[in-house]
Amino acid sequence: MRFTELADYAFPGGHVVEWSPHTEPGRMSCSLDQRRISHNHERHLRGILDAPPPDDQSWIGCAFRIVGPFDPEAWRNTLSTWIRRHEVLRSHATVEDGTPTRYTLESAAVRVRARTIGNLDETAARRHADRVLSAKTSPLHWPSYLFITIAGVGGFTVVFGADHAITDGYTVALVASELAVLYDEARTGASDTVLPAVGSYLEFSEAERAHSDQIPGDHPAIEPWRRFVAEPEPDRFGTTLAPAHACVFPLARGYGGGLRTPQRTLSLPLLDADEATAVTAIARSHHTGLLAALLAGLGSVTTALSGREDFRTVVPRCTRADAAMNANTAGWFVDLSPVTIHTATAASFGELIAAAGSELRWARSEIRVPFGRACELLGIEPHIAFFASFMDLRAVHRLHRPAEFSFLRGTNHSPDDHYFWFFRTDQGLSVSARYPDTAESAEDVHTTVLRLRALLAELAHHGDIDLAQCPTQRAGLV
């Protein structure tokens, strides 16, 4: 599994068509929607309105292949059905007179429009996709998402991109499975798979907003964020990065790049399916899960390399569990939790896994406030320059496992962002990392990932590890 910049994706050549929703003249049944947007959506929207990044792109998406003949009308019907299924795709949020405002279209008012581009080779197809996804996925207009099909011999490739405010990683994974099922039904008139019921991200946002608006500034749920961002975190040479960073990669060393430093991607397999199952079993013996093992491993490696005693990161937290139907609903069901693990006194990897699990349980139970609301109450706009995300995609792709699936993202620039995404699939465990395109950062990230892979493999094959005797933990980079 890969999460890569669009420029690094191996585009096929073929017949290229853009697909997007629109409303026909006279059928603009778009009405003011009283349901409020989430605090995180508002923070995202205001950030782009106040200081739009000149080159950065906030879209995320995917590419996948559907095997079999390409039927344009069946594909149009597929997209129409999918847009009717997920209410967030027919809704648009803006800021009017300083107040976030939502408008939502009736499902019957939406049509899908095709724009034929023509036959393009691999390079031209990539350039075209990069240009239109950058232009047509802005949260400042509707629609903020776009599909591209590239039809060739034996099937067609689908490229999807959407602004992050209406989608998250699980939504992107759902896109491929649901569209494949719906396309089969639209083309053949029958399907062996029934898609599960869905909820509404708009309803979720309103409920979350109603709850979080009642949280006062002295609420206990705010205190962890207050402590976490109390002081700007320095790099490992003691230099405070600017602007103020709430969390930095433990190996960050300033790097000397400017704000327009491009970001690069590293994607590697970490464990095969049996190894991932073994590590998960060890984590469960400590009453936690695979994410805790990954944080323990990442913390152990980076603190050993940097000489720090505490491992600090931010972990995206899935909020879909708040309602059963949200498991299959498109939207941005993600919040953030600060995590701190004291690594210096742990004698074994098992102790670190238990500590990470305890920290995650505490964060999930105690920090029940949206990050955007915490920032509003604290009067801060911290930059999260380091996070570690985990997604288990096995259940998401159980409906239909898409062929040649890859997560995609737009272009990003930063001199110090280090983001790690871990993916559990039927094939095992993999990681994708985004980091500054400098020789120093590449060395640090590659060293971290390779040592993490060795540590997890040691755990999978031999059980618990004495960290003092583990060769991957000895030599630092300082």
Q: What is the CATH number of the domain that holds 262?
A: 3.30.559.30
Question: Is residue 145 in some structural domain?
Answer: yes
In a domain, 210, yes or no: no
Residue 122 · residue 137 · CB < 8 Å: no
Residues 75, 125 share a domain: yes
pLDDT at 476: 47
CATH number reported for the structural domain that contains residue 180 in this entry: 3.30.559.10
**pLDDT value at residue 461:** 95
Domain identity same for 433 and 400: yes
State which of 205, 233, 258 marks the end of a domain: 205
pTM > 0.85: yes or no = yes
- Is 211 among the domain residues? no
Q: Are residues 172 and 228 in the same domain?
A: no
Residue 473: pLDDT over 90: no
**pLDDT score recorded for residue 238:** 53
Counting the structural domains of the chain, the total is 2
With 60 as the cut, is the pLDDT of residue 429 above it? yes
Last residue of a domain, one of 184, 205, 226: 205
Let me know whether 141 and 62 are in one domain.
yes
Quick one: 271 and 292 in the same domain?
yes
Average pLDDT of the segment spanning 274-284: 97
Q: Classify residue 478: in a domain, yes or no.
A: no
How is residue 320 written in tokens?
Answer: 């879909």
14-28, 156-170, 281-295, 426-440: which has the minimum mean pLDDT? 14-28
Work out the average pLDDT over 350-359. Answer: 95
428-436 sheet: strands from edge to edge? 263-272, 428-436, 418-425, 386-392, 310-318, 334-342
**For the ranges 51-60, 270-279, 459-468, the one whose mean pLDDT is highest:** 270-279
pLDDT score at 477 = 42
At 28-40, the pLDDT tens digits run: 467 899 999 999 9
Q: For residue 298, which amino acid is it?
A: L
Which has the minimum average pLDDT: 21-25, 122-126, 351-355, 434-438? 21-25
Say yes or no to pLDDT of 129 above 50. Answer: yes
Average pLDDT of the residues in 302-323: 87
Same domain for 256 and 384? yes
Q: Which of these three, 171, 205, 239, is where a domain ends? A: 205
* pLDDT of residue 384 exceeding 50: yes
Q: What is the pLDDT of residue 28?
A: 47
As a whole number, the mean pLDDT across the chain is 89
Does residue 264 share a domain with residue 189? no
Residue-range definition of the domain harbouring residue 145: 3-205
* Same structural domain, 21 and 164: yes
Residues 342, 401: one domain?
Answer: yes
Which range has the worst mean pLDDT, 53-57, 97-101, 445-449?
53-57
pLDDT category at 144 given cuts 50, 70, 90 is very high
Rounded to the nearest 10 degrees, the angle between the axes of helix 290-306 and helix 439-462 is: 130
Work out the angle between the directed axes of helices 290-306 and 349-366 (0-180°, nearest 10).
120
Contact 50, 388 (CB under 8 A): no
Burial of 423 (0-12, 13-18, 19+ CB in 10 A): buried
Q: From CA 332, how far away is CA 371, in angstroms rounded?
A: 13
The reply to whether 118 and 243 lie within a common domain is no
Let me know if residue 100 belongs to a domain.
yes
pLDDT digits (tens, 9 = 90+) for 207-254: 999 999 999 999 998 998 988 887 655 555 555 554 456 688 888 765
Tell whether 416 is covered by a domain. Answer: yes
Based on the fold, state whether residues 114 and 237 are members of the same structural domain: no
Q: Following DSSP, what letter does each residue of 114-173 receive, concatenated?
A: EEEEEEE-HHHHHHHHHHHHHHH--TTSS--EEEEEEEETTEEEEEEEEEGGG--HHHHH
Does residue 193 share a domain with residue 287? no
